Amino acid sequence: MSFECCGRTGHITLASQRFSKYFASYICEEHLQSQMSRTVSKILVANRGEIALRIMRSAREMGIRTVAVYSEADRRAPHVLFADEAVFIGPAPSAESYLKGDRIINAAQNLGVDAIHPGYGFLSENAAFAEAVEEAGMIFVGPRPHAIRIMGDKLSAKAAVADFDVPLVPGSDGEVTDVDRAKELASEIGFPIMIKASAGGGGKGMRIVHNPEEFDAQMERAVSEATNSFGNGAVFVEKYIEDPRHIEIQILADEHGNVVHLFERECSIQRRHQKVIEEAPSVILTAALREAMGQAAVNVAKACDYRGAGTVEFIFEPGGKFYFLEMNTRLQVEHPVTEQITGIDLVKQQLRIAEGHPLAFDQKSLTIQGHAIEVRVYAENAAENFMPATGKLHEYKRPQGLGVRVDDGLEQGMEVSIYYDPMIAKLITFGADRTEAIARMKRAISEYRIAGVQTTLDFADFVMNHEAFVGGEFSTHFVENYFSSSALQSEDAELEAVGAAAVANLLQGAKTNQSVVSHGKSSRWKTNRS
């Protein structure tokens, strides 16, 4: 297929031809080369909090000047103070600030910015924004708009990978809106089945149906939720994998046709279909399975002519079968665990790829070193179905020591805002093996001091000590199978008993003028509720 650009004729690759409807325009090789040869000397980070800081730190190490954007709620936020320059973009609600793509682009142009990095969330998977950035003469640090469009819709993503030797969950070939047809497909696939919204994510528009009798009601709910959440009521039907694991593969792809994977991340500990604890590598993958999943992820990237960092997610079925779930066309929240086991800075790789550099390594040179675990520390009450518990951080002291990393964007005295995701920090530990990584995580959790808001540290501690997690025998149903509010309440009672005994011993020691040493833990969970 030919096209016109810069007065010259160009050609579209085979993979691109199959999805030409997702392209707003095509560019010739000379145009592409001109984009590839650009140098990034100043970058605007179109995000906030810990991910904005994370990106800026790597940019600064590369000698790149940074520009922060901020809302009214973030005037004194660490990412604003860290940046070389900062621009106010609007009121606290994200719809009036961090989602205002035109406002962000105008700010970047006024400050002579070379590139915009979207981080994750907000505009990171908005193809129109990526397109507008490039049309404004700047580099979008991420994939090209067509890849975002293809992979942003689950049905087009499945269609894209169908010819690239990527295993797919049995299900409908396209979107389904007719209830009777959907029910017919469900019977052909076999119950239980999953109804999924074609657009969006985060667990929205998803319903499990165990039998034909409940199909109509669940279909109606899925379509309604999808319409309300994404403005698109299209759904598809697929086989529901019972007791699955959620495993994803990190990939990097450059403009020169090089694609590699950086191994897997286990993301099966979830609440409300959203990840809360991740680790790398997975305890259940053999070398053969790792190679097969890695190659499938590389093929997914090739299917949409991918550029940059991306993550291919798979559902892993007991017995060793795996199926393509989706591709996230951005940096993932859990990317630090991959960095820990590979020694590769993914943000720096994103920036080098955006400048047009080829990857400096190939698949054979990549190896796994040690084990890493990430805990997302949310301002949520795990005992109350993980309800948000925002407020002021009266005390905030990070854990330290060998093998401990904290990515955050808040300081003591700041508010965990009601306007944004309630994640306070990402706590990452690294060890020579999984046992050491878990031990360090338990120690780091015990050292973390947060008061003023309830956090999910108590839940994380519960997971690290649970035999199913320690033994590697868990699935995405971990929370519903093993966790309850009573588990935390019993732990609180035990800690308080230990504390009471320690106080009694101290009082007795004072009476006898003896020195008493207590080996009990202090109840940080109670402190966190103050």
If you search the block for the tokens 């050609």, which residue do you land on? 11
| Residue 477 one-letter amino acid | H
Q: Where in 289-350 does DSSP place strands (E)?
A: 308-317, 321-328
DSSP, collapsed to helix, strand or coil, labels residue 247 as strand
Q: How many contiguous H segments (helices) and E segments (strands) does the chain have?
A: 19, 22
271: closest CA among 383, 169, 193?
Answer: 383
Ordered DSSP codes for 179-227: HHHHHHHHHHH-SSEEEEESB--TTTTEEEE-SGGGHHHHHHHHHHHHH
Render 382-451 in DSSP notation, one character per residue: GGGTTEE---B-SEEE---STTEEEEE---TT-B--TTS--EEEEEEEEESSHHHHHHHHHHHHHH-EEE
Contacts from 489-495 at CB under 8 Å and sequence distance 24+?
Answer: 489/383, 491/458, 491/461, 491/462, 491/525, 492/523, 492/525, 492/526, 495/520, 495/521, 495/522, 495/523, 495/525, 495/526
Closest residue by Cα to residue 435 from 275, 279, 271, 263:
279
Distance of CA 522 to the CA centre of its chain: 32
Distance (Å, whole) CA 423 – CA 412: 15
Residue 84 carries which DSSP code? S
Radius of gyration of the chain from its Cα atoms, rounded to whole angstroms: 24
The structure's pTM equals 0.85
Cβ neighbours, 10 Å, residue 164 = 16
Longest dimension (CA), the chain: 95
Which residues are catalytic, by number? 330
Q: Which domains does the chain have, with CATH numbers?
A: 2-151 (3.40.50.20), 170-239 (3.30.1490.20), 245-482 (3.30.470.20), 487-528 (no CATH)
pLDDT along the chain (530 residues), means of 10: 44 48 48 63 98 98 98 98 98 98 98 98 98 98 98 90 94 82 90 84 79 91 84 86 96 98 98 95 97 98 98 95 96 98 98 98 98 98 94 98 98 97 98 98 98 97 98 97 84 55 57 42 46
**pLDDT for res 509:** 57
CA pair distance 259, 66, nearest whole angstrom = 28
Residues near 168 by beta carbon (within 8 Å), at least 6 away in sequence? 158, 161, 162, 323, 324
Q: Cβ(272)–Cβ(386) under 8 Å?
A: yes
